Structure 1
C-alpha cells in the first residue's frame, strides 16, 4: 500500500490534530512530506511532536523513514512501460510464460485491491452514485478512459442521468459549462498522472461538484480534492500496468449500487429493456 493510501486508511483512528497533519499531507502530496518536520507542522498548524505521533500511528519509526518511503514511492510513480520493459530486459528472460505469470499476478492483484479497500470509501462511493439528484459525469485518460466508459454504460442501465465526458473541445465545454453542486464527477487517473485531469478536478470542485476518484495505490494528485478515493493495485504480467484490479473496483461499486437502489434499479433495467425493443439497437 502506498503512503497516501495508508494515510487515508488510518484517518479515522487519528486525533483531530493528527487529522490536520493527514489533510495537509494529502492536499499537497507528496511535496508536503519532503520538507522538514517544522515545515509540515506549520502547514498543518500543529506542533512537531503531533507530526511525529501521527507518523508513529502510521507505523513509521521516525521522520527519516517516512521520507525514504515517500522518495521510494516517487520513483515507483514515475515508472513507465518503457522503463519496466528495459528493467525486464536487464533481468533476462522471465522464468515462466505469460499465462503462468498472469495466473499468478492478476488474481493476487485483484484480491489485494479488494482486501485493502476501506469499507467506508466503498460505502461513500455507493451513496453518491445512488443519489439520483446528482448528475454523473465520468472521464479518464488515454487508457483509463475505457474504464470511465465502462462505468457510465452500467450507470445508464441502473440509475440514469450519467454521461461520459467527450474529447471534442466544443462538446466537452458544453457538458461542463453548467457543472455545480448537483454534479458528481468521476475521474480515473493512474500513475504518470495526467495534468488535464487534475486541472479538471480543481475546476469542478471550485464550482461545488463532488469528485469520486479511481486511482492506483500511490494515489493521483486528484486525491487531495476528491470526496472518495478508490485505489487499486496495478501489478501486471507485462510492462504495462494492469487495469484488471480497477475494473474489479468498478464492478464492485456497480454491485453495491444495485444493492442499494433495490427495486429502483430493477425498474430502470426493465425500462431500458423496453426502450431498446421499441427504438432498436
Structure 2
C-alpha cells in the first residue's frame, strides 16, 4: 500500500526553512486557523494574512502545487476527511482497497500509520511534554472523549502509579467545571481528541489554557482544534480499512510517553512501584506463584 500524500500542514513544516519572511507570515496565518484560512480565494487569503497575492502564489509552488487551485483542492479534501463519519470512511477505503485479504491490508495500513506517526514526532517537543507529565510539583489532569476516553483511562492507570497528584476527569462534561475550579498555573492537562472533534473538549482546553494550565494534546493527522491552545500537540495517523479509525499509533505514542515519564524520575518512581507491590501483596489482589 502506498503511503498517503503529505498534508499541507506537513508540507509547510518540511519547507518552512526555505520560505521567505513574507511567505512564513502567510504560512503562520494559515496554520493559526487550519485549514479553513486557506479555503477562500487567493486574494482574500492574501489580504487576511496581510501579504501580497504573488507571495501566496510563490509559497504554494514551493509546497509542490502547480498553482493555487490545486492547493485549494488539497485543503478541501483534508477538511472533508476531518468531518467524515464511519460510513464515508468505509466507502473511501472500499473504493480504493487494494487486492488481497483484509488482514494484509490492515497490517500494512497500521504499519504505515506507525511509521508516519513516529517520523513526525519532534523529539524536543516530546521531551518537553514528558517533563511536564513528570512534574509532581504541579497536578496532572487526564481526559478523553467519546472514543478516546479509553486511552485516557489507560493513561491515568499508569501515571497514577508513576507519580502523585494525578486526576482522571470523568467523561461527563457537566462535571468539568468542578475540575477547572481547582486548576492552577503550571498544572498539566493531557487530552485526547480525534475526528470528529468534540466541542466540549475544545472549550475545556480553552478554559484550562486561560488559567495557565499547559495542555498536552494527542490527536490525529488532521489535528484537533485544541491544537490552537496546546503547549504541545502530537499527530497520530489513524486511517485503516474500516469504518472506524485506529488507536494503535495513538496508543504507541502514549506508551512511549509513559515509559519516558517513568524514566524521568526513576528513583522516585521505583519507590512508588515497590510500595504499590507491597500493597498488592497485602490485599492479595493478585495470585502469587512460588
Q: What TM-score do the two structures reach when normalised by structure 2?
A: 0.83
Aligned to 1:277: 281
Superposed displacement of residue 45, structure 1:
4.6
Superposed displacement of residue 9, structure 1:
6.0
Deviates more, 1:242-251 or 1:268-277: 268-277
Superposed displacement of residue 61, structure 1:
4.5
Q: Secondary structure at the match of 2:127?
A: helix
In 2, Cα distance between the equivalents of 1:93 and 1:62? 30
Aligned to 1:66: 71
In 1, Cα distance between the equivalents of 2:183 and 2:282? 32
In 1, Cα distance between the equivalents of 2:48 and 2:92? 38
In 2, Cα distance between the equivalents of 1:17 and 1:93? 42
217, 220, 224: which is aligned to 1:220? 224
Confirm or deny that 1:21 pairs with 2:26: yes
Deviates more, 1:169-178 or 1:46-55: 46-55
Superposed displacement of residue 112, structure 1:
2.3
Superposed displacement of residue 272, structure 1:
2.5
Q: Secondary structure at the match of 1:245?
A: helix
Deviates more, 1:106-115 or 1:163-172: 163-172
Q: Alpha carbons of 1:5 and 1:213: their partners in 2 closer, same or farther (altered >3 Å)?
A: farther
Aligned to 1:250: 254
Q: Secondary structure at the match of 1:134?
A: coil
Q: Secondary structure at the match of 2:234?
A: strand
Q: Alpha carbons of 1:201 and 1:182: their partners in 2 closer, same or farther (altered >3 Å)?
A: same
Aligned to 1:183: 187
Confirm or deny that 1:192 pairs with 2:196: yes
Confirm or deny that 1:79 pairs with 2:84: yes
20, 35, 39: which is aligned to 2:40? 35
Deviates more, 1:113-122 or 1:11-20: 11-20
Superposed displacement of residue 88, structure 1:
5.5
Superposed displacement of residue 171, structure 1:
4.4
201, 207, 232: which is aligned to 1:203? 207
Describe the superposition over 1:34-61 as per-residue Cα deviations: whole angstroms up to 9, x where unpaired: 2244544454455555555554554445
Q: Decide whether the 8 Å contact of 2:130 with 2:257 is kept in 1.
A: yes
Superposed displacement of residue 79, structure 1:
1.9
Q: Alpha carbons of 1:93 and 1:181: their partners in 2 closer, same or farther (altered >3 Å)?
A: closer
Mapping of 1:148-163 within 5 angstroms? Answer: 148-163=152-167
Q: Alpha carbons of 1:137 and 1:60: their partners in 2 closer, same or farther (altered >3 Å)?
A: farther
Residue segments in structure 1 that go unaligned for 5+ positions in a row: none
Q: Alpha carbons of 1:143 and 1:206: their partners in 2 closer, same or farther (altered >3 Å)?
A: same
Larger RCO, structure (CA 8 Å, separation 6 or more):
1
Confirm or deny that 1:119 pairs with 2:123: yes
Aligned to 1:105: 109
- RMSD of aligned alpha carbons: 2.9
Confirm or deny that 1:96 pairs with 2:90: no
Q: Decide whether the 8 Å contact of 2:146 with 2:171 is kept in 1.
A: no
How many equivalent pairs are there?
280
Deviates more, 1:237-246 or 1:122-131: 122-131
In 1, Cα distance between the equivalents of 2:206 and 2:212? 10
Aligned to 2:234: 230
In 2, Cα distance between the equivalents of 1:23 and 1:92? 34
Residue segments in structure 2 that go unaligned for 5+ positions in a row: 1-5, 286-290
Q: Decide whether the 8 Å contact of 2:169 with 2:179 is kept in 1.
A: yes
In 1, Cα distance between the equivalents of 2:134 and 2:13? 23
